[in-house]
Amino acid sequence: MQKSAYAKLALFATILALGVVLLGAYVRLSDAGLGCPDWPGCYGKLVVPKQADAIAAANAAYPERPVEPDKGWKEMVHRYFAGALGLAILALALLAWKKRRQPGQPLVLPVMLVGLVIFQSILGMWTVTWQLKPVVVMGHLLGGMATLSLLWLLFLRSRPSDRAAVNAAKGLKLAAAAAVVVLVAQIALGGWTSSNYAALACTDFPTCHGEWWPEADFEEAFVLWRGLGMNYEFGILDNPARVAIQLTHRIGALVTVTVLGALALALLVGRRAPMLRSLGAVVGVLLCAQFGLGVANVLLSLPLPVAVAHNGVAAILLLSLVTLNYTLHRREAREPHHG
């Protein structure tokens, strides 16, 4: 397989991974995370039961979770896409091993992706069997974002390119790396907010219940482990704890806007390479869109399309920062290696 063909496969897997992330958000936000009470099938089948006798048998086997076909199909479509993504990643790893002696062929990264997608499948299983435990749901989200980001990096490293590396100050490289850390932390907070059903703990903006600092229980809000055997569907926290999560997510949003906004401005001003100026514009536009979607989620009571878009723009914003960091370190990245 030629390098350009490998890059195309990596791009296909990246697009598929983005679809899996969006489907995961859709399943979570439409309260279909337990649409199938078992894993990897649905009520013991590869498809959602639809015949009357099959539904009756499923209800008898899982009396605590009667069949809801709409929710079941949402969950299974997500699993089908995730399975296809796993096969695509396995193909990338096998092809990388086959071409491992070719100069510049990444090998460690595709193998890492196989390990990551296996761990993701385990998290997906725990999401169901541990009944939407927030720390697992948040970890599953972060794993999906990591898979997406590493696939995009693999594509960037595999595509043919004659562009020279850009010259950038060390401070700009550090700022770009810090921006990734800040954004990942904010995505984690978003996952924690969603998995604890705290997105509408405050129904106004920028205040919360008409106050700048309402009653909030931060100690209870961030307990990561509460043991097993609890059903977390629709959340178990009282309102002050959910308010604390929402306030923390808002503070995180302020930090994210400040750090990424400053980075975008630094890329746009001065005598920057055209590629860096373009990336600065992309980061700035996506950042504004993400902030607007976050505010709309609160003021419009979390409409499903807006909430899913909020997850999608976060993913694309992360990819833009991955591209920026790759571009700033391109000279090192394009040396012959097996990584």
**Residues annotated as part of the active site:** 75
Is residue 339 predicted with pLDDT exceeding 60?
A: no
Does 254 lie in the same domain as 105?
A: no
DSSP-derived letter for residue 45 is B
Does 175 lie in the same domain as 55?
A: no
Does 134 lie in the same domain as 232?
A: no
What distance in Å separates the CA atoms of residue 92 and residue 116, rounded to the nearest whole number?
13
What percent of the chain is predicted at pLDDT more than 90? 82
Is residue 76 predicted with pLDDT exceeding 60?
A: yes
Does 128 lie in the same domain as 247?
A: no
For residue 294, which phi and psi values (nearest 5 degrees)? Answer: -65, -45
Does 115 lie in the same domain as 50?
A: yes
Model confidence pLDDT, tens digit, residues 61-71: 999 899 999 99
pLDDT tier for residue 4 given thresholds of 50, 70 and 90? confident
- State which of 130, 160, 190 marks the end of a domain: 160
What distance in Å separates the CA atoms of residue 320 and residue 287, rounded to the nearest whole number?
11
Q: Maximum distance among all alpha carbons in the chain?
A: 70
Model confidence pLDDT, tens digit, residues 266-288: 999 877 888 899 999 999 999 99
Does 6 lie in the same domain as 144?
A: yes
Give Cβ neighbours of residue 102 (< 8 Å, ≥ 6 apart). Answer: 3
For residue 42, which phi and psi values (nearest 5 degrees)? Answer: -130, 110
- State which of 160, 183, 200 marks the end of a domain: 160
Lowest mean pLDDT among 36-45, 80-89, 156-165: 156-165
Average pLDDT over residues 218-238: 93
Does 173 lie in the same domain as 140?
A: no
Predicted TM-score (pTM) of the model is: 0.91
Model confidence pLDDT, tens digit, residues 174-219: 999 999 999 999 999 999 999 999 999 999 999 999 999 999 999 9
* Dihedral Cα 190, 302, 124, 89, nearest 10 deg: -80
Does 116 lie in the same domain as 215?
A: no
The number of domains in the chain is: 2
Does 128 lie in the same domain as 175?
A: no
Helix, strand, coil shares, percent, the chain, to 5: 70, 0, 30
Does 80 lie in the same domain as 207?
A: no
For residue 40, is the peptide bond before it cis, meaning its omega torsion is within 30 degrees of 0?
A: yes
For residue 157, which phi and psi values (nearest 5 degrees)? Answer: -80, -20
For residue 208, which phi and psi values (nearest 5 degrees)? Answer: -135, 115
Count of other CB atoms within 10 angstroms of residue 167 = 11
Report the candidate in 120, 111, 113 with the shortest Cα–Cα distance to residue 79. Answer: 120
Domain span holding position 16: 1-160
What distance in Å separates the CA atoms of residue 191 and residue 206, rounded to the nearest whole number?
20
Average pLDDT over residues 10-38: 95
Does 140 lie in the same domain as 12?
A: yes
Does 222 lie in the same domain as 153?
A: no
